[in-house]
């Protein structure tokens, strides 16, 4: 038997989130014919998307710069250590002048590693701020919420930049040990 009742007209509401995804408060206006957004949000969503794209570009740029910077410091520190060890293993310092020269190289390496650590830590803080901002905007404007799902989802491994920012400690440790050894050698405590 054929169903004579008229089908309920499908109410297509605007899907624009006026609050973030956790509150799931959406715009109450009806969506434009064949679209997911109402007339008001059709235009503003385009502007939001542009802003979101600018924010994600900034976030990605900060991450790229973080690793470019880390590579620079890594090469500089590695080069300085290699030169220092090549020189010291060949001829140990004997005169005061040579000791001063060695200590200056060590302090340069140590200073650079400490500077690298602070720069990395601050850069990670900036990356975190941009990440939080993108997650916030993603929760509001995206219908897929990729950033929110990936960045805030379960079993989230530690971000590479958060691990890499501790790399300077390796060089700080090596330079500190070498500094102590050279001072002990200089003061004739060790031979």
Q: How many CB atoms lie within 10 A of CB 190?
A: 10
Residue with smaller CB distance to Zn ion, 139 or 165: 139
CA 175 to each of CA 10, 112, 169: distance values in angstroms, whole numbers, following the listed order: 71, 10, 10
What backbone phi and psi angles, to 5 degrees, belong to 12?
-95, 100
In the bound complex, what is the minimum distance in angstroms from residue 40's beta carbon to Zn ion? 5
Exactly one of 12, 29, 159, 164 binds Zn ion (CB under 5 A); that residue is 29
Tell me: does residue 137 bind Zn ion (CB under 5 A): no
Tell me: does residue 16 bind Zn ion (CB under 5 A): yes
Exactly one of 17, 41, 112, 138 binds Zn ion (CB under 5 A); that residue is 41
Site for Zn ion in 89-108 (CB under 5 A): none
Please state the separation of Cα 19 from the chain's center in Å: 27
Residue with smaller CB distance to Zn ion, 14 or 135: 14
Which of 113, 112, 119 shows the shortest CA–CA distance to 65?
119
Stretch that binds Zn ion, among 37-45, 83-91, 116-124, 128-136 (CB under 5 A): 37-45
Exactly one of 27, 74, 114, 167 binds Zn ion (CB under 5 A); that residue is 27
Residue with smaller CB distance to Zn ion, 140 or 183: 140
Residue 191 is classified by DSSP as -
Q: Angle, nearest 10°, between helix axes 96-141 and 168-186?
A: 170
Tell me: does residue 45 bind Zn ion (CB under 5 A): no
The encoded tokens of residue 163 equal: 């691990």
The encoded tokens of residue 113 equal: 């590693």
Binding site for Zn ion (CB under 5 A): 14, 16, 27, 29, 38, 41
């Amino acid at each position: 038997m054929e169903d004579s009742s008229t089908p309920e007209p499908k109410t297509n509401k605007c899907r624009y989130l006026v609050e973030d995804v956790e509150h799931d408060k959406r715009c109450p206006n009806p969506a434009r014919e064949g679209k997911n957004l109402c007339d008001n949000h059709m235009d503003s969503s385009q502007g939001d998307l542009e802003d979101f794209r600018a924010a994600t570009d900034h976030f990605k740029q900060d991450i790229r710069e973080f690793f470019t910077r880390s590579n620079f410091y890594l090469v500089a520190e590695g080069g300085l250590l290699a030169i220092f060890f090549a020189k010291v293993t060949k001829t140990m310092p004997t005169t005061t002048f040579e000791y001063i020269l060695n200590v200056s190289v060590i302090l340069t390496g140590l200073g650079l590693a400490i500077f690298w650590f602070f720069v990395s830590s601050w850069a990670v803080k900036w990356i975190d701020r941009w990440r939080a901002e993108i997650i916030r905007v993603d929760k509001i404007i995206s219908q897929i919420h990729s950033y929110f799902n990936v960045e805030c989802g379960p079993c989230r491994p530690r971000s590479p930049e958060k691990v890499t920012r501790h790399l300077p400690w390796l060089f700080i440790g090596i330079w500190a040990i070498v500094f102590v050894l050279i001072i002990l050698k200089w003061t004739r405590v060790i031979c």
